[in-house]
Chains A and B, each alone.
Chain A
Amino acid sequence: MQKFSAFELFKQGLNGQAGWKPQWRSPEPKAAYDAVIIGGGGHGLGAAYYLAKQHGMRNIAVLEKGWLGGGNTGRNTTIIRSNYLFDESAGLYDHSVKLWEGLSQELNYNVMFSQRGVMMLAHTVHDVQVFKRHVHANRANGVDNEWLSPEEAKAYCPPLNISDNMRYPVLGAALQRRGGTARHDAVAWGYARAADDLGVDIIENCEVTGIRRNAAGAVEAVETTKGLIRTPKIGVSAAGHTSVVLGMAGVRLPLESYPLQALVSEPIKPVFPCVVMSNTIHAYISQSDKGELVIGAGTDIYTSYTQRGGLHISQHTLEAICELFPAFRRMRMLRNWGGIVDVTPDRSPIVAKTPVPGLYVNCGWGTGGFKATPGAAHTLAWTIAKDEPHPINAPFTIERFRDGHLIDEAAAAAVAH
């Protein structure tokens, strides 16, 4: 692998930067692999990387029906945080934040992880009580989170409007300073480059059309648009399409797929120092390093696979943004798009074995999967390699819905995740 460094950049500069090679190969699929990952987003590519790096499984492939990171990895608003209420969630999401903190070094790829702080606004007495409960629960779990008065919130984020003339005035905020953003494309590319270097075959434009099982019920092959690929282990990281993929193996899941929209403004000079989330009035905003305001909305109300949603959802979000940040009222929006998110009844993910031997699933991240990319990838790889979950993802099974052990972040906060 061609290492990236300041010296390498200088050296290539002497040659007009013409010496750079493609960052990963584009191989044709082999007839058989030791394991196949379905889904070439950050989660799937990361799982392949950790399988190769930490579990010595080098004869593996990642199958992607489109292009790398073209699904939800490239469609989210890049917010990273771990201030979840329950112990199980704090364990999983904070595992991710810790991996994020070393990821650029580990991959030799600048994922632009920026711990600029994630501030969640409280607008009602209920919000205040819920967020303070979160602050205490997080601290008990070793996750940083602190309560700010409206004035302290404005000091941390000067564009914020804390006037009491708003329909939903800011009554305070919970701030996780270790939270922040990262560059989403770089995460997929960094994992792809590092996995490829370890021998992983990354196969784009290769859609899985079927999963074959042997007489014992275990998986034995995947049917794809590039032919049959035999494998004893399949890991699925297909986000919104997980129900479709697992349906090929006869597995039903507690998932529904919804469109989630985001939009960006025209780029402007640095004006917004952190991430601000307002779950109550559905507005999530940060500024990318390119200068665009990156804005997230709530999901549309109906299930869909269209990767687009209704304009009124974005409009609703922009109304909230304009009230919270009056300075942005004359900004023009550049693009808006949708991704398909797979939502579980308790708004917590599933990273687990399935009832089918050799079939493993990483799904149900709903509206907040990007933040979990390294942790989901790491624990999925562990689960695939050892055929049993890592202690961190052990609670996130499919069977929790049968056994009543929900990790009910939905009820805990009544907010987006």
Chain B
Amino acid sequence: MKQILLMLFVASVFSCKNEKTETATVETKSEIISSDEKTPVNYPFTIYDYDGLEPLINKEDDKVHVVNFWATWCAPCVKELPYFEAINKKYDDDELEVLLVSLDFPKNYGSKLVPFLEKHDLQSQVVAFDDVDQNRWIPAINNDWSGAIPATIIYKGDQRKFYEKSFTQEELETELKQFLK
């Protein structure tokens, strides 16, 4: 059962793992991944550098987007993941989208991140972010970000808030209310 869910998950986030998703893959790939980044075939998530991630955190649609920067080794991040999963489940897909951006080191994708995703069966979209030029992308993502994780962006159109903090479930819901009108 877990295998099937994982495969569905894989297909939904897109990956080269499943041959059948090849067409969709190519289209998405050319659109959002910068050319010098390769996606290893065996990971159930896409790996982006900042240029690849940038469009994903600046979508111009009518949805509320919740983007959370986390890592498997970050205890406060792992603690709040269920809250993001909960809002992802609670709200309609055309109303709200959750994007979980993992900052796990590439050398740990196979040993830590993949097993974590399998174990916790995360339903929100997960992508891996691998870009060492921190001094460029931290202020680009938000000028108030000192660089600590967990960190979260909530945005809808031009309305955008940045949080360099951990959430409780209640705090997350309270913040969301400002966007869900």
**A and B: partners?**
no
| Chain A residues close to B by CB (< 8 Å) | none
Chain B interface (Cβ < 8 Å from any Cβ of A): none
